[in-house]
Every structure is written in structure tokens, then in C-alpha cells.
């Protein structure tokens, strides 16, 4: 079997409490083709790092620029 692409999905559910209870969920799915010299595990870990940052940014947490901000 040859793995030539990797995809990850990451999401968080955050709850706010009293006086107005609410639940908010943000989720992102990212995928990438494996380039020569990369490993599937390495690509998966990098995608997961980016996905976690994107979800945190969706909640309004401080975010730093990633590959998601680069034009292609």
C-alpha cells in the first residue's frame, strides 16, 4: 500500500456557563499531498498543528500566521 495523501479533522466544543448557557463547536478538516522526502506521520502531525491553531483562532484565541495564510 502506498500512502500519497493525508487528511486530519480536529474540533473543539466549548461551553459557556451562567447566566446564559451555550455550547459552541468549531471543526476543521485539512488535507495534503505527501511531497518527496516527507513521511505520512510527519505530514499528519504538521496538519494537526495547523488544524488546532485554526480552531483556536475560530474561537477568538490569539493566532499566529501559518501556511493557511500563504497564497498559492
Q: Quote the percentage of the chain above a pLDDT of 90.
A: 68
Is 37 inside a domain boundary? Answer: yes
Q: Which three cell numbers stand for residue 18?
A: 451562567
Number of domains in the chain: 1
Q: Tell me which residue range forms the domain holding 45.
A: 5-61
Burial (0-12, 13-18, 19+ Cβ within 10 Å), 34: middle
Is 28 inside a domain boundary? Answer: yes
Average pLDDT over residues 64-72: 67
Q: What is the per-residue pLDDT across 22-34, written as a single tens digit (0 to 9) for each?
A: 899 999 999 999 9
Burial (0-12, 13-18, 19+ Cβ within 10 Å), 57: middle
Beta pairing class for 22-33 and 5-16: antiparallel
Is 68 inside a domain boundary? Answer: no
Is 67 inside a domain boundary? Answer: no
Amino acid at each position: 500500500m502506498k500512502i500519497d495523501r493525508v487528511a486530519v479533522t480536529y474540533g473543539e466544543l466549548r461551553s459557556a456557563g451562567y447566566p446564559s448557557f451555550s455550547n459552541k463547536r468549531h471543526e476543521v478538516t485539512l488535507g495534503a499531498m505527501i511531497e518527496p522526502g516527507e513521511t505520512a506521520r510527519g505530514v499528519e502531525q504538521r496538519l494537526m498543528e495547523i488544524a488546532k491553531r485554526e480552531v483556536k483562532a475560530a474561537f477568538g484565541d490569539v493566532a499566529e500566521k501559518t501556511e493557511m495564510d500563504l497564497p498559492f
